[in-house]
Chain A
Amino acid sequence: MNLAEWRERDSLYEASARRRVLGLLDQHSFQEILGPAERITSPHLEQLGFPVSFDDGVVIGSGLLNGKKVLIAAQESGFMGGAVGEVHGAKITGLLQLALISPVTAVLLVLDTGGVRLHEANAGLVAISEILHAAFRVREAGIPILVLIGGSNGCYGGMGIFARCCDYVIMSEEGRLSVAGPEVIETAGGVEEFDSRDRALVWRTMGGKHRYLLGDADRLVVDDIQAFRAVAIEVMQKPKPLSLESILREHQCLGERLVAYGECKDAFDIWKKLGIPEFGAIPLMDNDSFHAIVKPYLPKEGTEEETEHDR
């Protein structure tokens, strides 16, 4: 991607939740469910003296993706850090449940969240467990769930766990995926453990490139809504198997990862162990050169094998 193309791209990172939904779907196909005019707002925030949002920070609805009917949700990064409150969570759960009773090809979730909305505490925690439960039912029905991560909040907390329970994780370098966020780790473990103000450290530990190298993200795309859309179209009809064998295989991979990299202090150490000669230059590589260089070192198990012969 040259400079002119870079300027022309339709950045997902900078777009609002609504803009993301409209850019991902086929033109004029989006039909919002429980839009702002319905005023389904948080019952908790007002009591605490916080302003509410008419859509509680998540846009949900249906539309067409390359002519196929899909359901879609996008979290608004600006409102409460995209965090999941009771209503916000119920909207996502309801959308997933809708996939079970209406014929859809896939469910797309554009996540941009710090996890549970702490103001709503238990209601937010319950909401995330309900989302997880609904997601497994959707996967059991063979409907793929695609998670798209490339916003300013990244994807953290319970929603980070949720993302890895879905069929596909599609990320940009700008996106981050983890459970405990940088500040949380620093608070619990001290600045020697993790310096949350070290942006480069945050990105190489949790960012899209590292997640892709470890196999947590299935695809890494440039920060362009159309690039996310193209990958979503490519995988939306390919549900991944969800079975005891697939879960056991996943557990085995995670165990092997811990053995292989458990002693590593930094992502650089992991990239070096992966055998990538240019490991020190990875953070500054653009998307094309990154893909060209890391291709031979990607995880062989599971997802990459499938995507390899898709191409």
Chain B
Amino acid sequence: MIELLKFEFPGHRAPMRPVRGSAFAGVVNSGNLEVLIESADLGGSCHVEVKTSANGFRSTWTAVLEDFFARNRFADIKVSINDFGATPAVVSLRLDQAAAEIMEMGAK
């Protein structure tokens, strides 16, 4: 069955840039996932909601997401993920692609 995982990160006190709108990366294909990043008024924190077909990997998700938020100074974003058994490296790649796109949108 599909497992729903929710995470909350404190968000960076000095974010890279205020984020606007939404950005999207990836495809829900075997071993792949899609990532949607949206700006959201969350009092500075960042929320992540993962729906995954691979059950029992909460600690792996925590490690990948901690790494993502350590590399990217975000605040006030909501990350939504539909996962079809992607490996941690693929998850990181898709997160970075969506992050790069939303930063590009903020720059315009």
Binding site for B on A (CB under 8 A): 16, 18, 35-37, 39, 46, 49-54, 57, 76, 78-80
Contact = CB atoms under 8 A, between A and B. Distances in A.
Interface string B14-44: 0000000010100111001010101000000
A51 B1 contact: no
> At the interface, is chain B mostly helix, strand, loop or mixed?
strand
A307 to B, nearest CB: 34
Given A36-B24, A37-B22, A78 B51 contact: no
A199 B24 CA distance: 34
A78 B82 CA distance: 13
A309 to B, nearest CB: 42
A49 B29 contact: no
A54 B24 contact: yes
Range, interface on chain B: 10 to 19
B76 interface: no
Interface string B67-84: 000000000000010111
Contacts, number: 49
Given A36-B34, A37-B38, A51 B27 contact: no
A52 B38 CA distance: 18
B34 A49 contact: no
B45 interface: no
A37 B77 CA distance: 13
A80 B1 CA distance: 17
A28 B1 CA distance: 40
Contact of B53 (A35, A39, A50): A50
B28 A53 contact: yes
B36 A54 contact: yes
Nearest to A39: B80
Contacts of B53: 49-51
A78 B25 CA distance: 13
Given A37-B22, A78-B29, A52 B36 contact: no
Given A36-B22, A36-B34, A46-B2, A52 B28 contact: yes
